[in-house]
Amino acid sequence: MTKGLNCSIQNHIDIFYRAKKGEISFLEGERMLTKIYQESGNATKEFIRKVFSKTEPRHEAKELISYCKKKGYKIYLISGAIDIYVEEIAKKLKVDGFYANSSLEFDKEGVLSKIHYRDNQGEIKVEQLRELIEKLRIKMDEVVFVGDSENDIEIFKETGHGVAVNSSSEELKSVAWKNISSLEQIKDIL
């Protein structure tokens, strides 16, 4: 979204890490990022939806999901990303469902007015997975969770079957069941 609105990716990253370090609150970070987006002149619901609709999932993700579905797996996305984006990707990947932990709020003119980001992503993902396994009537040890960032650490611990894909997080890799460099390698695990 940042790139699609022609905003500075580095500014976005700086705001995120300042909030993560506690230099600013996540709420202040949301406000700063919202302002940057608004100043682009393109921060409307319509424009943002168009940006997300042009985003294509990685080809190997499509192939992997098709492979997994043929083997009888249910595929759900549990993401810290923005709901409009996750919904678009979920449709394109033809997954069974999704959870998104960030959202955008728009005013009555359709202009972005607020970003909702929850800083306890790890805990939220675990809650969502528990809800999902109850819904699907499966056990936690039947879940394989694929992730790449630090907000997946808690869910890796919870499932015992976390697969870290090309992650730069040493902490995530240390709690992963498997560490791989590409999505294609998941086929060797399942």
* Domain total of the chain: 1
**Type of residue at 34:** T
Give domain status of residue 32, yes or no.
no
Instruction: Show the domain range for 146.
Output: 57-189
Instruction: CATH number of the domain at 116, please.
Output: 3.40.50.1000
* Rounded (5°) CA angle 163-168-170: 75
The contacts of residue 120 (CB under 8 Å, 6+ apart) are none
Q: What is the pLDDT of residues 54-100, one digit of tens each?
A: 999 988 999 999 999 999 999 999 999 999 999 999 999 999 999 99
Q: How far apart are CA 67 and CA 188, in angstroms?
A: 11
Which pLDDT score, from 0 to 100, does residue 125 have?
Answer: 96
pLDDT band for 118, please (50, 70, 90 cuts).
confident
Rounded to two decimals, the pTM is 0.87
The residue whose two tokens read 């996540």 is: 26
Residue 29 lies in a domain: no
Q: Averaged over 111-126, what is the pLDDT?
A: 91
Is 179 a member of any domain?
yes
How far from the centroid of its chain's Cα atoms is residue 171's Cα?
18
| 3-class secondary structure per residue, 167-182 | CCCHHHHHHCCEEECC
The conformational region for residue 163 under phi > 0 = left, psi -120 to 50 = alpha, else beta, is beta
